[in-house]
Amino acid sequence: MEEKQRQYDSFAQNSSIQHQEMLCGPKPSVSRGNELYYIENYSKNTILDIGCGTGHRTFPEYINKNIKYFGIEKFENLINASRFKSNIIQGDICSSNFILLLEDENLINEIGVSFDLTVLLGGVVNSFISDDYRDIAWKNISLLLNQSKYVLFDTLTHFSWYELESKGKTIELPIPVEIPPQYFYSKLELENIFTVNRIKIIESKSEFLPGGLKRSHFLISQEK
Domain spans, the chain: 2-222
> What is the predicted pLDDT for the residue at 211?
85
> What is the predicted pLDDT for the residue at 86?
98
- Contact indicator for 34, 215 with CB cutoff of 8 Å: yes
Residue 171 has pLDDT above 90, yes or no: yes
> What is the predicted pLDDT for the residue at 146?
97
User: What's the pLDDT band for 114 if we cut at 50, 70, 90?
Assistant: very high
> What is the predicted pLDDT for the residue at 24?
87
Helix or strand (DSSP H, E) at 71: strand 68-73
What confidence tens digit (pLDDT) does each residue in 124-159 have? 999 999 999 999 999 999 999 999 999 999 999 999
> What is the predicted pLDDT for the residue at 175?
76
Provide the whole-model pTM.
0.97
CATH homologous superfamily for the domain 2-222: Vaccinia Virus protein VP39 (3.40.50.150)
Collect all residues with Cβ–Cβ distance below 8 Å to 192 and sequence separation of at least 6.
Answer: none
Query: What average pLDDT does the chain have?
Result: 96
User: What does residue 51 show for φ and ψ, rounded to 5 degrees?
Assistant: 70, 40
User: What's the pLDDT band for 55 if we cut at 50, 70, 90?
Assistant: very high
Could you give the 3-state DSSP secondary structure of residue 119? strand
- Contact indicator for 90, 17 with CB cutoff of 8 Å: no
